Amino acid sequence: MPREPNRPFQLAEGADPYRVPDIPMSATFALPLKNLMNNGSALALSGLAVLVLAGGVMRTLEGRVGSAAELTPQERSSLPLRDFAVPQERKYPINDLRHGQLALTYVAAPSNVKYRYQVMSRVFPRYPSLINWWLTTKPGRQEGLSVSLFRRKIKEYRKRMQRQSGVKRQQTENEIAALQLLEGMAPRLTQLAGRQAPSRKTA
């Protein structure tokens, strides 16, 4: 059966072409919908998949921008050194609870582990409510906050420092100093974690 050739839509005589209500919706959208049905459901599914993926990417970008870019460059530069977890390099702002949590999140990544204990030693005293949260992360569950852990890490870092020089050696020295602080704070940190743990109701 021969297909009917597509006829261009024509406005009625005297109609205003810039007024949308004068253009019938059926004439405007009939051709795209017809072509879509002729091509089967694959095109529709692919279009839907693109929309879903685009939405996911936008949500991801919004989360990253909203969490990491709240401080403008001017605000960050105006922060005092005490508001950074690594003040000597002005890294990891901890000016509020949210940024304290972000700092702990970043140093949980293997690529940022060189700053982990510096961040912990400065975030925990300032925001004790983040102690229990840290213990729910993967490194927090694996390591804990015990005196024996920090002593073992100090020995490990001292051996590592013997093979280092320059910037890496300085970073390791800073981590050792932070570990020594954490070693002294460990009993208090454990006590605070216990106080903030949800109490279990007995029947």
pTM to 2 decimals? 0.62
145 inside domain:
yes
pLDDT in tens, 10-63: 445 544 444 444 434 444 434 444 444 455 555 445 554 444 444 443 343 333
Cβ(175)–Cβ(118) below 8 Å: yes
92 inside domain:
yes
How many Å apart are CA 102 and CA 123, to the nearest integer? 10
Burial class (CB in 10 A: 0-12, 13-18, 19+), 34: exposed
139 inside domain:
yes
161 inside domain:
yes
How many Å apart are CA 44 and CA 39, to the nearest integer? 9
Neighbouring C-alpha atoms within 13 Å toward the C-beta of 188? 9
How many Å apart are CA 157 and CA 147, to the nearest integer? 15
How many Å apart are CA 128 and CA 133, to the nearest integer? 10
Helices 166-196, 147-161: inter-axial angle, 10-degree rounding: 180
**Domain count across the chain:** 1
- Domain span at residue 134 reads 79-196
49 inside domain:
no
Say if strands 84-86 and 91-93 run parallel, antiparallel, or are unpaired: antiparallel
52 inside domain:
no
Residue 137: other Cβ atoms inside 10 A: 13
57-95: b (≥16 Cβ within 10 Å) or e: eeeeeeeeeeeeeeeeeeeeeebeeebbbbeeeebbbbb
pLDDT in tens, 113-164: 889 999 999 999 999 999 999 998 888 989 889 999 999 999 999 999 999 9
User: What amino acid occupies position 67?
Assistant: S
pLDDT of the residue at 54:
43
153 inside domain:
yes
170 inside domain:
yes
Confidence of residue 197 (pLDDT cuts 50, 70, 90): low
